[in-house]
Chains A and B, each alone.
Chain A
Amino acid sequence: MSQDHDHAHGHDAPLPEVVLRVKALEALLIEKGLVDPAALDAIVDTYETRIGPRNGARVVARAWTDPAYKARLLADGSKAIAELGYSGVQGEDMVVVENTPGVHNMVVCTLCSCYPWPTLGLPPVWYKSAPYRSRAVIDPRGVLKEFGVEVPADTEVRVWDSNAELRYFVLPERPPGSEGLDEEALMDLVTRDSMIGTGLPKAAGAQP
């Protein structure tokens, strides 16, 4: 790459080209009054600190404890998730798929990085990476094994390809032994990966 030359100069190494491009673009837009830097800061803060998989964990824990909510969630994911206040960009149209003893669901976006932001936050790098995107649809059991998830041979694996119009969300199975737990305690068992389908919830009674 051309900027590699620039990286070779010790103490006065100039900023990498990509950083310069971003700074230049933002500076120009601010000069022209086309963006408000405070608004940009607020967007970063929101996605860095306020929107994340805890939102999705509440959806799952609610579905585990409230059968009527679960029915609404499976019938109209977007609407039921919005009931809990989680709606907005990249979560407009949600479909919730339920794991059962005979079916394991997992989600990918083969074309890019479509992911339900309001419930899970921004996707991890592996979700956006070529190895996951390419292989999830051709070798899902192999991918699951890489994530440490062994799905019984007689369990059907369903892979859902999220896209710009529709985002999938996995409702994992409630772990055995969690019957006495309330919604808050159940939320701690729900991992991000369990809602993508590349993981399972933590076992009840496990140390956090």
Chain B
Amino acid sequence: MNGVHDMGGMQAFGPIDRDAEEPVFHADWEKRVFALFFGGFAGGFFNVDMFRAEIERMPGHEYLRSSYYEHWLHAIEALLIRGGAVTDVELQAKIAELRAAGRKAAH
């Protein structure tokens, strides 16, 4: 499938931004996303090709405005829901629960 991910030869993305002292992960949530990829893979909920295809199916504007591990999270969520590991309802409920717990802890 072609799409915005197929970047070879495109122009106007600007200079290459490099960080000589770059850490392997830039935030704790990136580490967990990375590990959850293995979890979903080992659990048999998806394979690498399904994972890539899911990222490539992201709407172009979302793909471009989100970071690398956000692409991963998008694919892992979608594939775990499709694979029956979790439901969207469960996921939204858990997010709401954690958000409420976070608000409480902050006061």
- By a beta-carbon cutoff of 8 Å, the part of chain A in contact with chain B is 1, 11-15, 18-29, 32, 34-35, 39-41, 43-44, 47-48, 52, 108, 110-113, 121-122, 124-126, 128-138, 143, 146-147, 161, 164
B39 & A130 in contact (Cβ 8 Å cutoff): no
Measured in the bound complex, the distance between the Cα atoms of B17 and A41 in whole Å is: 30
State the main secondary structure of chain A at its contact with B.
Answer: helix
Cα-based distance from A26 to B38 in the complex (angstroms): 12
- In the complex, the answer to whether B16 meets A143 with C-beta atoms within 8 Å is yes
Q: Are A131 and B13 within 8 A (Cβ)?
A: yes
The 5 closest A-B pairs by CB, nearest first: A110-B8, A12-B106, A40-B35, A35-B39, A24-B94
Give the residues in chain A near B22, CB-CB below 8 Å. 124-125
The interface size of chain B toward A, counting residues with CB under 8 Å, comes to 55
> Quick check: B64 and A146 within 8 Å, CB to CB?
no
Whole-angstrom CA separation of A32 from B40 in the bound complex = 13
Taking the closest CB of chain B, its distance from the CB of A18, in whole angstroms, is 6
Contact bitstring B84-99, A, C-beta under 8 A = 1, else 0: 0110001100110111
Chain A residues with CB below 8 A from B5, complex form: 111-112
What residues of B have a CB within 8 angstroms of the CB of A132 in the complex? 16
* Interface of B toward A, CB cutoff 8 Å: 5-11, 13-19, 22, 24-27, 29, 31-36, 38-39, 43, 48-49, 52, 55-56, 64-65, 68, 70, 73, 76-77, 80, 85-86, 90-91, 94-95, 97-99, 102-103, 106-107
Q: Which of B18, B24, B33, B106 contacts A122 (CB 8 A)?
A: B24
Q: Across the two chains, which residue of chain A brings its CB closest to B66?
A: A18
**A25-B77, A27-B94 are known contacts. Are A137 and B8 too (CB-CB below 8 A)?**
yes
Q: List 28 A-B contacts (CB under 8 A).
A: A14-B99, A14-B103, A18-B73, A20-B99, A20-B102, A22-B36, A24-B97, A24-B98, A25-B80, A27-B94, A34-B43, A34-B85, A43-B35, A47-B34, A108-B8, A122-B24, A122-B34, A125-B17, A125-B19, A125-B68, A126-B16, A126-B18, A131-B16, A134-B7, A146-B15, A147-B16, A147-B18, A164-B49
Determine whether the beta carbon of B39 is less than 8 Å from that of A12.
no
List the A side residues contacting B38 at CB < 8 Å. Answer: 39-40, 43
Inside 8 A of B19's CB, which chain A residues have their CB? 124-126
Do A121 and B24 touch across chains, with their CB atoms under 8 A apart? yes
Q: A111-B6, A138-B11 are known contacts. Are A146 and B16 too (CB-CB below 8 A)?
A: yes
Q: Are B43 and A25 in contact (CB under 8 A)?
A: no
Partner of B52, one of A34, A112, A135, A136: A112
Of all chain A residues, the one with the shortest Cβ separation from B32 is: A22
**Assembly CA distance A24 to B11 (angstroms):** 38
- Asked if A161 and B8 sit within 8 Å, CB to CB, the answer is yes
Chain A residues positioned under 8 Å from B86 (CB to CB): 25, 28-29, 32
Cα A112 to Cα B8 in complex, Å, equals 10
Cβ of A170 to closest chain B Cβ, rounded Å: 18
Q: Known contacts A43-B35, A132-B16; decide if A138 and B8 are in contact (CB<8 Å).
A: yes
